[in-house]
Structure 1
Amino acid sequence: MMGLIFWPLSFIFFFRRDPQRLLELTLVGGVLQAAAILVVGGLGLQPSMAPGMLFIAFMSLQLILGVTFPKAGPVLRFCTPLFVAFFWALLGSVLMPRLFEGAVLVWPQKLDEVATRVPLAPTRGNMTQDCYLILNLIMFIMAIFFLTRREADPRRLYYAYLVGAALACIVGFWEMAHRLVGSIPFPKDLLYSNPGWAVLDTQMSGPVPRINSTFTEPSACATFLIGTVYSTVWSTLRGYGNWATRVMVFLSALCLLMTTSTTGYVAMVVGLGLLVVYAVLSRERRLFRRLMMFIAGGVLCMGVTTLALTAFAPEVIKAAAAVMLETQDKKQSASYEERTQKDTDSYQVAFETYGLGTGWGSDRSSSLLPGFLATIGVVGVLILVVWNGSLALNIYRSIKIAAGERSLDAWMIEATVTALIGRTVATLISGPVLGTMDFYVLLAMLVSALIRIQTRAGKRVRA
């Protein structure tokens, strides 16, 4: 049923020659991670794949027909470290499982099939993860090529990202009402139709249901929403955006709290700490004043809400207290011990393979860093550090160049980099990969904005 929505829309935009709409639909479809638009055996394609693949096809036809992209050279030079990291991951997925075959034990990609570690060997997981990696890389390159052209509108893309986040929040509230009341219907067969994922939609935190929204589990929902919270809060504090951005601050934070995900809560605390540190070090009085007002407003709202609930619905306060106690006791839970064990095993695998890793797709950890070390090894992680360092330096330079401009590109840089930081922080806490197509579209929005600002600065210098 989800395919009957996304495939026709994607083909309509394709034949109308509207790549902008295809990218927007990719961002909206990125929140429907537990759904499938096409099922082949036990593999389901996520909704973002339909517009994403047709966007790639459209841009490929443009290249074949001779359409030129003047920024192609700067883009390829700018992203060289990232391309090297992708090449190393693909090469390792072929060599390492054969080099260390049977020498180490790894956690397989499909944990529901084998609930224990297995000897390392080349598997279908290496091929499928390589396919996702290649598809995401091509999507990233093609999106940058398009976004550096004049007809591209990054503002619409960012609003499409917010529309996807709003959809996730609405479905999350709907799911909570369904779980609490029971008589309210909820389209589980539509939203959780991907057979390639184990959907954990019956979890409880004390007496309170944990919501998945459109995702496979509460922590995955929190990982996505924390990116929205980071982006909208920062945009609001910096004076960008409009009423929609401010509304999404409230909606995404509320839905994030409803997931009762420890990952989301920790990432929110980390984000608040980063905000305070930046406001102090940057010495921007306006930003610091807005941040203090934002914190004071949040504390005031929580206080008023708590007093109202204490007076009129004391059972809600008891449920919230039970949730907080269970969150604090997560370290004693079996799931926490299982995740910690997977990360420890992944670190051990990285050591046993002399820092080379087991190959992309061979091992599945619980967090991002041990997963990278266990698969692409120390070499791959160092290449990614170089890429991220180069990216951070270019972001710093571009923001300095755009200081005082209040331009669209400056907003896109700050909005997308905070969204990416939020999702990365949550994944570092509890998440195996950063492999969704919408993530790479956001990254392409960031890189294209950097290139546009630096190109304009170069023209001014030459003039």
Structure 2
Amino acid sequence: MDLIPVILFWVLLLIGMASRGPFIFYLLFASMSFGSLAVIPPELTQGLSFTPPPIVALAIIFIYAGGASGLSRILDIALRPSQCLLLFLFWIVAVWVTLFMPRIFAGLVTIIPMRLEETTSGIPLYPTQQNISQLMYLTISIVTVFACALAFRSASTRQHVLSALCVGGVMVVLTGMIDLAGLGPYLDMFRTAKYAYLTDVDIADVKRIVGLMPEASTYGSLAVSFLSAIYFFRRAIVKPWLRLYAAPCLIVLLTLFALLSTSSAAYAGMGVFGCVAALEWFWRLLAARKGSVAREGLVAEFWAIVLGFGAIYVLALTYPALFDPFIKLVDTIIFQKTSSDSFEERSMWTAVSLQALLDTWGLGVGMGATRASNGIVAVFSNTGIVGGLLYYGFMLQTFLRRAQPGDATAAAILNAVRFYMPPVLIMATLVGTSADFGIMNACIYALAAAAAWPAPVRSSSATPRPSFAVYPEGSR
């Protein structure tokens, strides 16, 4: 039975590769909810668990980097300062640190191993299989940025990617619904990865929803990532039914299931998301041009928030006991978090990893050498100060990208990227264990790089291609 989902995945992947169309991007985002599925039996990979997203990403890389032309264009993206040179240099530093630092500082530095089944306390640094596996995951994520930055230069492809984001959100909700309905144990055939699972856990008398992820925190973080992406990127979607109806429904459902995950990191991410969404709403009100899609739904959103808070206030006055379970839950996972064993253990991981960075004089200990519970510390401890500065320099460059004049759709995408990044960065800071930023963020970085790429100059005699305008007819 365990082979059925694996065979189904490979059949869908082969269809996506053979079609050479946008189906591969829909498969990529839909597969992100299957974080417990090892699509290659771990027995054949010495215990490594390859989940669907990096495998689909490798297929995308193969499609767009195949042949001399594709490879040269991807190298141009990697080496161009205005595109991804900082990210390429980050990869070079990560490779150098991973290959040499665990050997140079072997036995001299204390680290927390990535595989916690070995031990949860500090052990001496030595080269391990995790160095190569984590470097491989990071390499896939980085090359995915290069390949997708090439693929997403087409305006029609970018629209398919935005639609695929919504499909990914649907899968997050569906897997959450399956778990909420108590059918999770019947889907153990999808949990074939060699992970430590926390799928049947209650907190403050509330069952934690994990979907098909290994634990509630990863499911909650995934839900907030899709919530943030769909909320901000929906204004760049051309199809009215998807932008005006499907996306808002998904936003509500993703909010609900992020709450049901009872993950403190997800709650923190939602808090930051709420603040950024409010900032974005005021920006649309005060700075967006009248008649643009950026101003679409301002009044409806305002009254939805007012009526929602009004309903909560009335219920709190009339039925205060109704909120007791929620108050107890919030108190347990947020206000009592600092006194929990989990918080103390994760804080110890971060402290040991930070000390490892200092003990190597800022050079780092290599990818996969130490586990932190803070994304920033994970990046700097794994790749050193130079690597960390290069990576966050690339993030800053992504944040500051500008669209070409007159390209309203690209401008909408880049605005969405700027608003999407803070909630995801906060969640990674709270629970990040590795310097690998993942396939989801790789696609967002690629969208930003592609949207900022200059459009090709066409002669007046050339047949014009259809453009995707984000303004309704008659608004200009």
* Same fold flag (TM > 0.5): yes
Aligned position for 1:411: 412
CA distance in 2: counterparts of 1:350 and 1:330, whole angstroms: 27
The equivalent position to 1:25 in structure 2, one of 7, 23, 27, is 27
Aligned position for 2:79: 76
* C-alpha distance 29-137 of structure 1, shift in aligned 2 (>3 A): same
- 2:56 matched to 1:51? yes
Q: Cα deviations across residues 72-98 of structure 1 (Å, max 9, x unaligned)? A: 635630211110001100110011111
* C-alpha distance 171-278 of structure 1, shift in aligned 2 (>3 A): closer
* C-alpha distance 70-86 of structure 1, shift in aligned 2 (>3 A): closer
* C-alpha distance 237-317 of structure 1, shift in aligned 2 (>3 A): farther
CA distance in 2: counterparts of 1:337 and 1:459, whole angstroms: 64
Aligned position for 1:181: none
Task: Judge which range, 424-433 or 355-364, deviates more.
Answer: 424-433
For residue 201 of structure 1, report the CA deviation from its aligned partner.
Answer: 1.0
Letter in 1 for 2:449: V
CA distance in 2: counterparts of 1:141 and 1:169, whole angstroms: 30
For residue 249 of structure 1, report the CA deviation from its aligned partner.
Answer: 1.2
Aligned position for 1:324: 330
User: The residue matched to 2:411 in structure 1 has which SS?
Assistant: helix
CA distance in 2: counterparts of 1:369 and 1:330, whole angstroms: 20
State whether residues 346 and 373 of structure 1, in contact with CA within 8 Å, keep that contact through their aligned partners in structure 2: no
* C-alpha distance 288-242 of structure 1, shift in aligned 2 (>3 A): closer
Task: Judge which range, 340-349 or 420-429, deviates more.
Answer: 420-429
Aligned position for 1:265: 267
* C-alpha distance 455-298 of structure 1, shift in aligned 2 (>3 A): same
RMSD of aligned residue pairs (Cα, Å): 3.1
- 2:173 matched to 1:156? no
CA distance in 2: counterparts of 1:79 and 1:431, whole angstroms: 23
Q: Cα deviations across residues 147-183 of structure 1 (Å, max 9, x unaligned)? A: 2257x511111211221111111221221221xxxxx
Q: Percent identity?
A: 20
- 2:19 matched to 1:16? yes
* C-alpha distance 294-436 of structure 1, shift in aligned 2 (>3 A): same
Aligned position for 2:197: 199
Q: TM-score, with normalisation over the residues of structure 2?
A: 0.83
The equivalent position to 2:340 in structure 1, one of 316, 333, 340, is 333
* C-alpha distance 112-104 of structure 1, shift in aligned 2 (>3 A): same
Q: Cα deviations across residues 312-363 of structure 1 (Å, max 9, x unaligned)? A: 9x87533222212212211111111111111122221111111111111101
CA distance in 1: counterparts of 2:421 and 2:190, whole angstroms: 25
Q: Cα deviations across residues 78-119 of structure 1 (Å, max 9, x unaligned)? A: 211110001100110011111111111101010022222110
User: The residue matched to 1:360 in structure 2 has which SS?
Assistant: coil
Question: Where do 5+ consecutive residues of structure 2 fail to align?
Answer: 289-293, 461-476
User: The residue matched to 1:432 in structure 2 has which SS?
Assistant: coil
Aligned position for 1:209: 207
For residue 308 of structure 1, report the CA deviation from its aligned partner.
Answer: 6.2
* C-alpha distance 424-214 of structure 1, shift in aligned 2 (>3 A): farther
- 2:2 matched to 1:4? no
The equivalent position to 2:133 in structure 1, one of 118, 128, 133, is 128
Aligned position for 2:218: 220
User: The residue matched to 2:41 in structure 1 has which SS?
Assistant: strand
Q: Cα deviations across residues 124-158 of structure 1 (Å, max 9, x unaligned)? A: 111111211222222222222222257x5111112
CA distance in 2: counterparts of 1:373 and 1:102, whole angstroms: 20
Aligned position for 1:446: 448
* C-alpha distance 3-438 of structure 1, shift in aligned 2 (>3 A): farther
